[in-house]
A = this chain, B = another copy of it.
Amino acid sequence: MGLSIGVVGATGAVGRKMIEILKERNLPVDSLRAFASQRSAGEKLDFKGQEITVELLTEEVMKDKFDYLLFSAGGGVSEKYAPIAAAAGNIVIDNSSQWRMTEGIPLVVPEVNPHTLKGYKGIIANPNCSTIQMMVALAPLHRRYGIKKIVVATYQAVSGSGHKAIVELESQLKDEAYPNQVYPKRIAGNCIPHIDVFNENGFTKEELKMVYETQKILEDNTIVVNATTVRIPVVYGHSESIYLEFKEAPQVAEVKQILENAPGVVVVDAPETNGYPTPLEIANTDDTYVGRIRKDLFDPTALSLWVVADNLRKGAATNAVQIIEVMEGMK
């Protein structure tokens, strides 16, 4: 009667987080299977007191029956195996960027566009971590005032680059000589305006994801987005400085009210008592936190915000598990 779920890339930072969140939430999971490459197959994982042996990912096992397959093993694995699993009738929720911009594939933030899941079977894309938290905060404001322009600068945690990057930061903080392996430059005591690869237009792929995923999720190609994505020496939690221009002038009191009532949003905005979110304070939670809400000094249609969320949870694993919850709720 319960759900059968498979996790592909189960031993990575996000895969492990997916299993952790499946444990925490109230989903009735009857069967959990874990898949990984040759390197990790055979490892043991715990799921609610049960020992799970990580299986080797093959085309054959993807044809087995699952209610949901959660993928987080990189674009190449998703490109190859997700269509096989979907062709076998499985619902795939893919955390890579592989299918996000493909027409017909829903790109889903459950608080924002759950309607795209209605009656859908096949591959579903989980958006980029930086995009998800921005969408949770901005979608309710877009509905009320109509967003024309977004200028965003990010402050991104190293856990977004996987477990190795956490080791790199922590090792460099202890040891001056520890080499740069994950990042092109030393991340300890530094900040690096370079996430994912550079495109010819001078933007990084991470920045372009924030542009085009936003347009797709908000279903509005007239929204203009300018992003600068930056890695900083924080372990968990991405922060975003967001400047917005709307069609209609927003009022701060109403903006706060809208956000306080918005699903998945927690407003932390009391400057007089240092009330604003920081990544260290909100790590290991599932909400998106918004503070520093203020009108621009010159343009009555412009507003600034500071948005923080746990990049491995809401920015990846939690969002994927919430997609299952929404689909189960629609049955």
- Does residue A77 face the partner (Cβ distance < 8 Å to B)? no
CA distance A225 to B295 in the complex (A): 12
- Contacting residues of chain A (103-135) with chain B, CB-CB under 8 angstroms: none
Of B198, B295, B297, B306, which is within 8 A of A271 by CB? B198
CA distance A235 to B297 in the complex (A): 31
User: Closest CB-CB distance, A136 to chain B, in whole Å?
Assistant: 18
Whether A233 lies near B230 (C-beta < 8 A) is no
CA distance A306 to B239 in the complex (A): 18
User: Closest CB-CB distance, A257 to chain B, in whole Å?
Assistant: 16
Number of copies: 2
Which of A6-14, A53-61, A186-194, A309-317 makes up part of the contact surface? A186-194
Whether A194 lies near B274 (C-beta < 8 A) is yes
- Contacting residues of chain A (197-251) with chain B, CB-CB under 8 angstroms: 198, 201-203, 211, 224-226, 228, 230, 232-235, 239, 241, 243
Of B151, B192, B225, B291, which is within 8 A of A193 by CB? B291
Of B185, B296, B306, which is within 8 A of A280 by CB? B185
Chain B minimum-CB-distance residue to A233 = B233
- Contacting residues of chain A (233-277) with chain B, CB-CB under 8 angstroms: 233-235, 239, 241, 243, 252, 271-272, 274, 276
User: Closest CB-CB distance, A312 to chain B, in whole Å?
Assistant: 15
A279 surroundings in chain B (CB, below 8 A): 190-191
Whether A190 lies near B278 (C-beta < 8 A) is yes
* 19 new A-B contacts at CB < 8 Å, known A202-B271, A202-B295: A151-B243, A155-B230, A155-B232, A190-B280, A190-B281, A191-B232, A191-B239, A191-B279, A193-B241, A193-B278, A193-B292, A194-B276, A201-B297, A203-B294, A224-B297, A226-B243, A228-B292, A230-B241, A232-B233
- Could you show 6 A-B contacts with beta carbons less than 8 Å apart? A155-B232, A191-B279, A202-B271, A224-B299, A228-B243, A232-B233
When A and B form their complex, which 10 residue pairs have the shortest distance between CB atoms, in order from nearest?
Answer: A202-B294, A153-B153, A153-B241, A198-B271, A190-B280, A228-B241, A184-B274, A224-B298, A151-B151, A151-B243
